[in-house]
């Protein structure tokens, strides 16, 4: 099967640098999203802004799988740092994704565990993780980490909440889409990867940092994708 890559970003500014590289662009509108089909470095690629949140991300991923027949999916963008030493512009490669706001503990499940699926962690494709990690290490202007990224439908700006995410899940970063992309890809047997450049850290003024760093942070994620595209 010929490789075809789907790339999802939550916000326009996260996708913009890659969109400039897409050749032979064709637009398709569905579910209030614009899917841009074309080629980057001769690889069939579909770019899309999903919008913010887990529902948008899940719908977007399923459309990429059903309508565009992608073979791999990458969710790229920005996130909040959880571990104290992870600072704005650093990059986290997600080895696995967890929905931190999934709570069915009243029925005997662990926090993050999805009932009837019996899963907490959705593991990224190891080949894509390795490629992204090695590509990111080439840039010494920031630090690169790989580990757990947690997802929830909330912007985390509380120091207490960040500390609980690290304690409960050993999370390195938190955001609002990745685990939804991961679960959808898992259910469809599609290899996936989540890359997050850090735009803020709730240990030091999350909302202020986010506004200042989000565009620069997104560029760090997108540079890594170029390396993955050359491999695929």
Query: What is the CATH topology of the domain spanning 4-231?
Result: Rossmann fold (3.40.50)
Element (H, E) at 74: strand 72-81
Q: Which residue matches tokens 């929905």? A: 99
- pLDDT of 175 reads 94
Cα–Cα distance measured from residue 4 to residue 195, given in angstroms and rounded to the nearest whole number: 18
Active site residue 14: yes
Cα–Cα distance measured from residue 225 to residue 230, given in angstroms and rounded to the nearest whole number: 9
- pLDDT of 211 reads 60
- pLDDT of 105 reads 86
| Spans of the chain, pLDDT less than 70 | 1, 201-218
Cα–Cα distance measured from residue 32 to residue 113, given in angstroms and rounded to the nearest whole number: 30
- pLDDT of 205 reads 53
Cα–Cα distance measured from residue 143 to residue 36, given in angstroms and rounded to the nearest whole number: 31
Give the pair of three-digit tokens for residue 120. Answer: 């907490």
Cα–Cα distance measured from residue 101 to residue 154, given in angstroms and rounded to the nearest whole number: 9
Q: Tens digit of pLDDT for each residue in 157-211? A: 778 888 889 999 999 999 999 999 999 999 999 999 999 988 876 665 555 465 6
- Residue 89 buriedness (CB in 10 A; 0-12 / 13-18 / 19+): middle
- pLDDT of 67 reads 98
* 154 closest CA partner among 90, 85, 103, 215: 103
Q: Out of 14, 113, 175, 209, which one is annotated catalytic?
A: 14
Q: Out of 90, 175, 177, 200, which one is annotated catalytic?
A: 200
- pLDDT of 164 reads 87
């Amino acid at each position: 099967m010929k490789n075809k890559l789907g790339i999802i970003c939550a916000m326009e500014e996260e996708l913009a640098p890659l969109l400039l590289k897409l050749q032979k662009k064709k637009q398709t509108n569905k579910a209030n999203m614009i899917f841009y089909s074309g080629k980057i470095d001769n690889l069939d690629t579909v770019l899309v802004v999903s919008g913010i949140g887990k529902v948008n991300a899940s719908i977007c991923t399923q459309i990429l799988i059903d309508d565009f027949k992608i073979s791999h999916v990458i969710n790229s963008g920005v996130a909040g740092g959880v571990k104290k030493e992870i600072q704005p512009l650093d990059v986290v490669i997600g080895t696995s994704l967890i929905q931190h706001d999934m709570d069915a503990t009243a029925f005997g499940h662990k926090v993050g565990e999805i009932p009837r699926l019996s899963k907490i962690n959705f593991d990224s494709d190891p080949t894509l993780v390795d490629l992204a990690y090695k590509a990111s290490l080439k840039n010494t202007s920031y630090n690169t980490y790989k580990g757990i990224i947690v997802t929830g439908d909330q912007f985390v700006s509380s120091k207490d909440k960040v500390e609980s995410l690290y304690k409960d899940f050993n999370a390195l970063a938190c955001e609002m889409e990745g685990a939804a992309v991961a679960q959808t890809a898992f259910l469809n047997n599609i290899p996936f990867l989540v890359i997050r450049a850090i735009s803020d850290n709730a240990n030091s003024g999350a909302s202020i940092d986010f506004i200042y760093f989000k565009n620069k942070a997104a560029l760090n994620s997108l540079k890594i994708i170029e390396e993955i595209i050359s491999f695929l």
